[in-house]
Amino acid sequence: MNSPGTQPVTAWIGEFTLLAALWGSSFLFMRLGASEFGPLPTAGLRVALATVFLWPIMLRQGHWPAFRQHWRPIMFAGVINSAIPFALFSWAVLHIATGLSSILNATVPLFGALIAWAWLGDRINRLRWAGLALGFVGVALLAWRAPAGTGFKTDSAEWAIAACLLASCFYGVSASFARRHLTGIPPLATATGSQLGAALGLALPTLWLWPAQLPGLRAWGAIVAMAVLCTGIAYILYFRLIASAGPSRALAVTFIAPVFAVLYGSVFLGERITPWMVGCALVIVCGTLLSTGLIRTLRPGRAQPERP
């Protein structure tokens, strides 16, 4: 019997691809929702509906006691892992292409590695430092030229890129926070409680900035799809993937999701895919693989389960 994280590729590749497709679609849905609701109501509705979707599942699985015992750090994690990043990305996709924002989201492991080194004392060898440098060079190159070829105003695009990078940084902070304060808590309790914390954190801004004109069915459909598919179901798939494929392979979804996001943006929004964007994306991915040690982990014959 296969132990967690060592199941054959055929056992988890379907869920891996589906998760990448779902997370990639979140940028398209954010654009469709935020264009009518506005960024903060879009983020607020997303986490509120995700909470409604996940809560009965958590109760059915018997994780209420775990949430009740650790509700403070769980709900705070929701603010830094969902409320703030979702709001920043919802604003950014109104000013840059959704494909570009998804590529910037792929820098999350870079920030995660750097913050874990500064906060938790994780060791970073020369190869990983080189990967960090390479990844951030890719980001700089992407920010330098990519916006001019996407049809968006350059002044707004610069701020939107900064918002995406700040959101990615918050994801990195939340990963280290989870390692420090949420270890041993059932993942479904963490996922559900964090969405509740995010919903409470965004409640007042959502109500205050609620659009004067009721959005149409397309915007509502995008919000519901983002909450149920890209947040609720995606969380469940992600935790299943960690168990079946291992944390490092689950993390690799971050590199595949932009492929779907760029495709969706091109097909449904008519966004341009420039060679510069593709080249910079490859540089960022290579740097991330080096900085996180995934190149060694994914090397043939190195399928051992991840150590905590």
Give the least confident one: 26-30, 70-74, 144-148: 144-148
Q: pLDDT band for position 274 (50/70/90)?
A: confident
In which region does residue 304 sit, left (phi positive, over 0), alpha (psi from -120 to 50) or beta (all else)? beta
Token pair 């430092």: residue: 129
Provide the residue type at 131 as one letter.
G
| Higher-confidence position of 308 and 263 | 263
| Higher-confidence position of 29 and 237 | 29
308 within some domain: no
65 within some domain: yes
Q: pLDDT band for position 147 (50/70/90)?
A: low
pLDDT at 290: 86
180 within some domain: yes
Token pair 């420039």: residue: 274
The total of other beta-carbon atoms located within 10 Å of residue 205's CB is 17
Answer yes or no: are the C-beta atoms of 98 and 269 closer than 8 Å.
Answer: yes
Provide the residue type at 132 as one letter.
L
Token pair 């190159």: residue: 141
Answer yes or no: are the C-beta atoms of 167 and 27 closer than 8 Å.
Answer: no
Distance CA 238, CA 20 (A): 10
Residues 78-126: tens digit of each pLDDT: 999 999 999 999 999 999 999 999 999 989 888 988 999 999 998 888 8
Distance CA 98, CA 29 (A): 10
Q: pLDDT band for position 55 (50/70/90)?
A: very high
Q: pLDDT band for position 304 (50/70/90)?
A: very low
Distance CA 76, CA 61 (A): 22
Distance CA 57, CA 273 (A): 39
Answer yes or no: are the C-beta atoms of 114 and 172 closer than 8 Å.
Answer: yes
- Closest alpha carbon to 41 in 176, 158, 213, 159: 213
- Closest alpha carbon to 136 in 303, 262, 280, 298: 280
Token pair 């291992």: residue: 246
303 within some domain: no
Q: pLDDT band for position 25 (50/70/90)?
A: very high
- Closest alpha carbon to 89 in 148, 30, 41: 30
49 within some domain: yes
- Containing structural domain, residue 60: 9-297
pLDDT at 303 over 50: no
Indicate the number of domains in the chain. Answer: 1
1 within some domain: no
Distance CA 162, CA 167 (A): 9
306 within some domain: no
Q: Indicate the length of the chain as a whole number.
A: 308
Average pLDDT rounded to a whole number, residues 115-138: 90
Provide the residue type at 116 as one letter.
A
Token pair 């700040």: residue: 166
